[in-house]
Amino acid sequence: MQKSTISELGAKKRVKDEASIQSSFSKHPFIVKAFSFFQDMDNLNILMEYKPNGDLFALWKQSDRFSENLTRVYIAEIALGLDFLHKNGIIYRDLKMENILLDELGHISITDFGLSKCLSIGERTRTICGTLQYIAPEVLAMQTYTHSADWWSLGILMYSLLAGHFPVKPGKDHFEMAKMCSQSTYELPFYGNYSNEAKHIVKNLLEKDSRRRLHDIYSLQNQPFFQRLNFDVVFAKKIPIFDIILENCNQYTTKRINEIFSVLPPMYFQSENTEIKLNGINGDYINGFDYDATFMVGNRTYVWCNSIAQAKPILV
């Protein structure tokens, strides 16, 4: 992230909040781990866990649409991550497929906390933000809202995974999106041969009245769609997702999925032994981001030295 852009946008506090949230809550199995935050002359840097299989959006586009079995596991994993954030006083506000990364086994990791905010259970906020197709109706209507807005976004995501398309096309702005939202039923299409259980939970997540919307992990677990799923097993990442992905793929799709899920060796950073003349600390210093950083990757400790722009292992 360029410091000049951050300063121009007056976004220093937002960036510091993002770093604080990610560093505080990244030990959850479905949230991307952040190893370190540091700055150089021109940029703020976040060193995060490497996820080799891209994002959920890329997998969805290659798959056309997901089976109910695959959707069930992915929605359960995302919901566990959301529930963890909410219980720790964070509203996420930008849940979308592009922000769901996939690890070497296909399990999800939530990333990008740029729009997240500290918000205790029961409190309300009013900033209009997020990705238009995922924004809850109360947010679009410029009303105050709670963590329930994140569960609407989960409903949009679930609908899209099952149907192979979004329930509503994106509007040009939140005014047009609010109008389109008010005119839409958000029911799964009749031609999809969906189970009654799938239709029921999508309807409960995409309830326009936020007070009646499904908005907690306990209610989700007790939905008929999820009653045969052991959430302890989900949390432990013991479900073989790749096998489920391949269950009903045709030959072409199987080839493309295998290309997406080609396991690459972990690369946490790439750097060269190139001198950088810092001239002391002349850049715009942003409090909370060090110029040198020490971090753990596995069982090894590394130190980032801006004088040589390189991460070197050190003995501990």
Q: Which residues are catalytic?
A: 94
CB atoms within 10 A of CB 76: 24
Residue 183 CB burial class (10 angstroms; 0-12, 13-18, ≥19): exposed
φ, ψ at 259 (rounded to 5°)? -65, -40
Report how far Cα 83 is from the mean position of its chain's Cα atoms.
Answer: 13
What count of Cα atoms within 13 Å lies in the side-chain half-sphere of residue 277?
1
